[in-house]
Amino acid sequence: MADSLNLYYAGRDAATLDVDAPSFDVDAAIASFDSDPPDSPFQGGYLRGLLKSGYATVPSKWDGVLV
Q: Does residue 21 surpass a pLDDT of 60? A: yes
- Cα angle value 66/40/44 (rounded, 5°): 30
Q: CB–CB of 47/62 below 8 Å?
A: yes
Q: Does residue 62 surpass a pLDDT of 70? A: yes
SS3 57: coil
pLDDT tens column, 22-58: 999 999 999 999 889 999 999 999 999 999 998 888 7
